[in-house]
A = this chain, B = another copy of it.
């Protein structure tokens, strides 16, 4: 189970915008960190905008801003915008694809796992990430 680079880049971008909240529109140029192609990032920011997570200002001196306070934006919001909703198997969303009904214990397991992941993602906000800028393994008080 892997995450695509979309999710990763998307979070990096959102984190950057959260750090620079209130400083006016941030240009694509400034958001793009080393190793992330600017034109690709542009696409991804389009997804974030269409999902309502960022607002944009077009034209010269334009750029991107987060649309809400960092505390209100969860990792679930970002992942849904970048990778679509978590859908471990089709039988979760498309009923017709599963000939096993309620009797399918496998289905139950996928559902449980999906719920767990979504719940975890929903608990992490950009605000909480900003609050703990260096919470690494080396820093246990």
Contact = CB atoms under 8 A, between A and B. Distances in A.
B117 A132 contact: no
Nearest to A113: B120
Nearest to A15: B106
Given A106-B15, A134-B102, A87 B2 contact: yes
A86 B120 contact: no
Interface residues of A, number: 42
Nearest to A85: B1
20 contacts: A1-B1, A1-B3, A1-B7, A1-B87, A2-B86, A2-B88, A3-B88, A3-B89, A8-B89, A12-B106, A101-B136, A103-B133, A103-B136, A105-B132, A106-B129, A108-B132, A108-B135, A113-B117, A116-B116, A117-B117
Given A102-B139, A116-B117, 16 more contacts: A1-B1, A1-B3, A1-B83, A1-B86, A1-B88, A2-B88, A8-B106, A34-B99, A75-B109, A102-B137, A103-B133, A108-B129, A109-B129, A113-B117, A113-B120, A117-B117
